[in-house]
Amino acid sequence: MKRYEVIIVGAGPSGLSAAIEAAKRGVKVIVFDENEKPGGQLFKQIHKFFGSKEHHAKVRGFRIGDELLEEAAKLGVEVVLNATVVGLYSDKEVVVKIDESIHHYKGDTVIIATGAAENMVTFPGWTLPGVIGAGAAQTMMNLHGIQPGKKILMLGSGNVGLVVSFQLIQAGCEVVAIVDAAPRVGGYGVHAAKVARTGVPFYLSHTIKEVSGEDCVTGVTINEVDEHFTPIPGSEKTFDVDTVCLAVGLSPMSQLLKMAGCEMEDNPKRGGQVPIVDEYGQCSVDGIFAVGDVSGIEEASSAMIEGKMAGVCVSEYLGYIDEAEKKEELAKFDKDLSSLRQGMFAPENRGKVIEKTEEGIDISKNLLRNGFVADDEIERFPGVVHKVGVHPVIECTQNIPCNPCQDACSKGCISIGNNITCLPFVKDDSQCINCGMCVANCSGQAIFLVDEDLGDGSATVTLPYEFTPLPEVGTKGFGLSRSGEKICEAEVVSIKSVKAFDHTNLLTMKVPKEYAMKARFFKCS
Amino acid sequence: MSRIDEHPILGETKKGREVEFTFDGKKMKGYENEPIAIALKANGVMIHRYTKKEHKPRGLFCAIGRCTDCVMVVDGKPNIRTCVTPLKEGMEVRTQDGTKAAG
């Protein structure tokens, strides 16, 4: 039996981060992963991450994956792929299936970073080919370069459902609707808004009645549900689709921890069966740690910090650093983690209905119901201002921990105030130079540059555009409202694509001036 | 379903060399080392197997080797998870019926 100081199960964001922190301090680390490639789900994440600089904000997920792999390789972390861990015992014996044989390892410490599995819901037709998980859609389009389908209905309006819907449109697929049985959009409003303005309708308080098709999906029928989730007769709507995508939550893959005899609990706020852990991931069995989604569903940024914390803890456990150094390091990560766990989407707020922002502004009801902020709601948010000349309009309306916008502007036009979750505002005395960095750097694609009056009855709106084909200057088409409705004629007057924008193109369209604060997307005619 | 030739964020998809394989005896083309299921999807194949008791079609579902809905008979061996098994030149892929090859 081979012995290692730390055995890590799972080479995703948390497992790799743990490995890096431990290896940095001289610990001998081995990481097992059942997949052919390391990186977990990071390589399927093509959107820019939220948070602050310390959390890799505005960096796309797959690039963070590359950085982690590079750092782990530099430190000599051994990653064994195609290696499925099938057993974990309380004395930290780990049983691994590699090819057709079983291998035994013994760890002085073990870090479980197995992540989560997708939840499913059942309805007539749910087993038909063409009904897929949202993760499957991401795997197909972002790893293997194939469209999951042509016409797709998304079930689930949490961040996964919203982000994957956007990615499907980027992959050239048509998303016919986003459906959720809940009465309110579950994910970030900015993710919903960037999908809604392309013309995708949201059906909240709706669920799938049935999926039709003989050999594969040919259609789907949804119906409205009342407050008890009971279907309302006569409310059926049918869509011709070839694919139905399920994004209905994740469950921790905590079986190994249970097997090892770690104390477990059923905690809906953390996503299901989870180990009871201290603040640094230490389970009830001494020397076994759990980090990332396996110890409670969150997202990759917090998973990476949890991994780092466990990496520091095992280094101290094994005697590579002393108690004082551990405390100092952990204090730093505590700060990073607590800043991520703030705002209205914080774990402690799960399931709560929040009516006002931290600033005391009424939350947009339309955003929660239909995925976009209505014209008569948008003006009350601090980032939405009117000025002479080009200026940023920041349609960020919920308190989420994110601040790249304020660093983006070299002229200091944008500030988010004291707290990372505060709504950004445009400073009164600031002078916008139309550089577009704020538009490109906003992970939520919620910043627009608007010149409300060119003097000839028209206005310009600059918006983030991450689709192909990229329209050329001079292309005529329509300005779409926040709801994705064609509201005016529009012409592309400028396209900016520079390296610093990282594939977020800046499309400037000219619209009649009365649409300056209404037109938020461009569609070719 | 179509392959994505030019992605707005990811650019051109990296592909292996083009190889030939068979699906239920029919010649098809795919790229070496991509999952078998992806090559099948690019060729329009949706049904990977039929269930044993009720003979219901199943296809690709989780795409990460977890659900086992996409298993097929590959080179004579049944229950191969096609979503995580790399495609090789000359592979014989067959629709699975229960636990055996169909037909």
Domains A2-116+251-340 and A120-246 share a fold: yes
Give the closest of A127, A133, A171 to B56, CB-based: A127
Confidence band of A429 (pLDDT split at 50, 70, 90): confident
Query: How many helices and strands, by DSSP H and E, does chain A display?
Result: 12, 28
Contacts of A286 (CB under 8 A, 6+ apart): none
Confidence band of A1 (pLDDT split at 50, 70, 90): confident
The highest-level CATH class for domain A120-246 is alpha beta
Give the closest of A144, A215, A503 to B47, CB-based: A215
The C-alpha atoms of residue A194 and residue A395 are separated, in whole angstroms, by 11
Does the beta-carbon distance from A146 to B4 stay under 8 Å? Answer: yes
Contacts of A324 (CB under 8 A, 6+ apart): none
Dihedral Cα A337, A61, A297, A231, nearest 10 deg = 130
Give strand pairing partners of A507: A463, A495
Residue ranges covered by each domain of chain A: 2-116+251-340, 120-246, 376-524
Helix, strand or coil, per DSSP, at residue B20: strand
pLDDT in tens, B54-66: 999 999 999 999 9
Report which secondary-structure segment, H or E, holds A111: strand A101-112
The C-alpha atoms of residue A450 and residue A455 are separated, in whole angstroms, by 14
The highest-level CATH class for domain B17-101 is alpha beta
Q: Are A14 and A292 in contact (CB under 8 A)?
A: yes
Across A497-506, average pLDDT: 96
DSSP assignment string, A487-523: EEEEEEEEEE--GGGTT-EEEEEEEEGGGTTT--EEE
Q: Is ipTM > 0.90 here?
A: yes
Kindly tell me if the per-residue pLDDT of A466 is higher than 80: yes
Residue/partner pairs of A469-476 with CB below 8 Å, 24 or more apart: A470/A495, A470/A497, A470/A505, A470/A507, A470/B8, A471/A495, A471/A507, A471/A522, A471/A524, A475/A524, A476/A524, A476/A525
pLDDT in tens, A31-82: 999 998 899 999 999 999 999 888 889 999 999 999 999 999 999 999 999 9
Does the beta-carbon distance from B63 to A136 stay under 8 Å? Answer: yes
pLDDT in tens, A346-381: 888 888 889 999 999 999 999 999 999 999 999 999
Kindly tell me if the per-residue pLDDT of A435 is higher than 90: yes
* Tokens read off for B23: 């699906």
CA A234 to chain centre: 35
DSSP assignment string, A453-489: --SSSEEEEEEEE--SSPPPTT-EEEEE-TTS-EEEE
Confidence band of A118 (pLDDT split at 50, 70, 90): very high
From A146's Cα to the closest Cα of chain B, the distance in A is 4
From A377's Cα to the closest Cα of chain B, the distance in A is 32
**What is the model's pLDDT at position A54?**
81
The C-alpha atoms of residue A274 and residue A292 are separated, in whole angstroms, by 11
CA-based nearest residue in chain A for residue B31: A144
The C-alpha atoms of residue A373 and residue A446 are separated, in whole angstroms, by 11
Chain A residues at the B interface, defined by Cβ less than 8 Å, are: 34-36, 46, 60, 62, 117-118, 127-133, 135-136, 139-142, 144-150, 170-172, 215-216, 466-468, 470, 503
Write down the CATH number for the domain with range A2-116+251-340: 3.50.50.60
**What is the model's pLDDT at position A304?**
96
Does the beta-carbon distance from B47 to A129 stay under 8 Å? Answer: yes
Contacts of B55 (CB under 8 A, 6+ apart): B97
**What is the model's pLDDT at position B88?**
98
Q: What is the CA radius of gyration of chain B?
A: 14
Q: Write phi, then psi, for A280 (nearest 5 degrees).
A: -110, 15
Residue ranges covered by each domain of chain B: 17-101
